[in-house]
Amino acid sequence: MTDRKLVRELQAIVGRDGVIHAPEDLLVYEYDATIERGLPEAVVLPTTTEQVSQVVKLARRHSLPVVARGAGTGLSGGAIPAAGGIMLVMTRMKRILEIDAENRLAVVEPGLVNLDLSAALSPYGLYYAPDPSSQKACTLGGNVAENAGGPHCLAYGVTTNHVLGLEVVLADGQIVWLGGRTADRPGYDLRTLLIGSEGTLAIVTKIIVRLLPLPEATVTLLAIFDEMEQASQAVSAIIGKGILPAALEMLDKVTMRAVEEAVHAGYPPDADAVLLIEVEGWQDSVDEQAEAVRAICENMGAREVRIGFTPADREALWAGRKGALGALGRLAPSYYILDGTVPRSKLPQVLRGVYQVGEKYGFPIANVFHAGDGNLHPNIAFDESQPGQAEKVLKAGAEIMRLCVDAGGTITGEHGVGMEKRDFMRWIFSDDDLEAMRRIQVAFASEQRFNPGKIFPPTEDSGETASHQRAVIQSQRPDVSI
């Protein structure tokens, strides 16, 4: 039961309707889009930066950690309160404070939904480029925390390439600005340091984002392949020809079968893979690139290439990709989505290894991913209600992550490390590397105050492991009947 004095103090800051503390209500906030779990002691919904600052100061006085959360769509356990404490849910701070069309920037609050920003910018002929698959639900503050990407990050980059400035609250409650309205400001680039820090250094309360003009023309192509190897080779061939599509996505046979049952997008379920390729820019250039991409795919063995020129045709081609994750629920009651990046040339080799892991553990694995930059998203289908399945799927996931690292890749392309992959950090960083990164938390005075238990593996003398952490979290879940 949450301490009544703490609740009263929090209510004095944000109001009675801004504090959630009943055990049965807290259950809603014990998870994100992973299979990890952790229960906060209280949830606070601030509406201003000053309220965030006051809550942080209060948490400091009570020696409680603070975890910031957006829409809860994260895929690495980044918003899970691993050590309890106060959860700051930023979804009421969702205003667009300024649109400066002339200088192509906007000032927004962290709870603003990603897609809502581009919708508001459309009358100005502008848009915000990073487009995670959860774009209709995820918030910009969460995007900053995880340095989110999306299908179009191949050409335009991830969140860090589109954020100019951040207003943040530090661990002592101080409110500061990092960066500003122009690029290349003098001094240390603390703005970039904060992006992707997963809420471990500061809490973002305002964001200045860079905007792009809407392209004059866009063409989408769907290339259908009978062999995954052909599709993988086509990816390398397109990039090798100097063509940089706005998006270059791949779906495998397992995914397409689920998609067709759910979305009826017209993807051929008998094919081994499809590539979804989008080129955009000036009309003449787009037409030339689309024709070049079509020719490359056919030379690589594509049995059919469909082309969408109109918005309706392009939306129809994208329908299966955008509905893919939801459709995977047809394979099993639960699925565990992974996020690793490998060199494009290693895609065939790593994908073969992924399917072999699925066969070893008896799980179907569906692959839908950003092929252009080698960012894999294997989805392991399983039944979490069956005893031992969660532990088994985590072992399978670890083997897949190891495949990515051994191929010269890394353990995340856009989902972050969070709780999920913190033990894997030692595969790619030395103890000295990790210690240097931990010192940044010390410099920000945020260690054990902001989102503890994330990114870094437990120190050897702590005796804590990821499995131990999960056991502790499970034991903290209240026995509540709803």
Do 222 and 264 belong to one domain?
Answer: yes
Q: Are 165 and 181 in contact (CB under 8 A)?
A: yes
Per-residue pLDDT tens digits for 122-140: 999 999 999 998 999 999 9
Name which of 166, 206, 204 is nearest 56 in CA terms: 204
Range of the domain at 371: 331-420
Measured between alpha carbons, how far is 67 from 446 in angstroms, rounded to an integer? 11
**Domain annotation covers residue 302:** yes
Do 312 and 341 belong to one domain?
Answer: no
Per-residue pLDDT tens digits for 162-211: 999 999 999 999 999 999 999 888 889 999 999 999 999 999 999 999 99
Confidence of residue 34 (pLDDT cuts 50, 70, 90): confident
The domain boundary, picked from 305, 326, 347, lies at: 326
Do 258 and 272 belong to one domain?
Answer: yes
Do 291 and 358 belong to one domain?
Answer: no
Tally of domains in the chain: 3
**Domain annotation covers residue 107:** yes
CATH code (residue 410): 3.30.70.2740
Do 231 and 166 belong to one domain?
Answer: no
**Domain annotation covers residue 386:** yes
CATH code (residue 208): 3.30.465.10
**Domain annotation covers residue 358:** yes
Residue 282 has pLDDT above 80, yes or no: yes
Do 205 and 105 belong to one domain?
Answer: yes
Per-residue pLDDT tens digits for 202-260: 999 999 999 999 999 999 999 999 999 999 999 999 999 999 999 999 999 999 999 98
Do 256 and 160 belong to one domain?
Answer: no
pLDDT given for residue 133 in this prediction: 87
The domain boundary, picked from 400, 420, 440, lies at: 420
Mean pLDDT on 339-366: 95
**Domain annotation covers residue 49:** no
Mean pLDDT on 106-122: 98
**Domain annotation covers residue 88:** no
**Domain annotation covers residue 285:** yes
Do 103 and 199 belong to one domain?
Answer: yes
Measured between alpha carbons, how far is 113 from 70 in angstroms, rounded to an integer? 9
**Domain annotation covers residue 448:** no
pLDDT given for residue 295 in this prediction: 97
Average pLDDT over the chain reads 92
Do 248 and 183 belong to one domain?
Answer: no
Do 101 and 207 belong to one domain?
Answer: yes
Do 232 and 134 belong to one domain?
Answer: no
Do 360 and 396 belong to one domain?
Answer: yes
Q: For the whole model, what pTM was predicted?
A: 0.91
Residue 474 has pLDDT above 80, yes or no: no
Measured between alpha carbons, how far is 357 from 115 in angstroms, rounded to an integer? 36
The domain boundary, picked from 213, 233, 260, lies at: 213
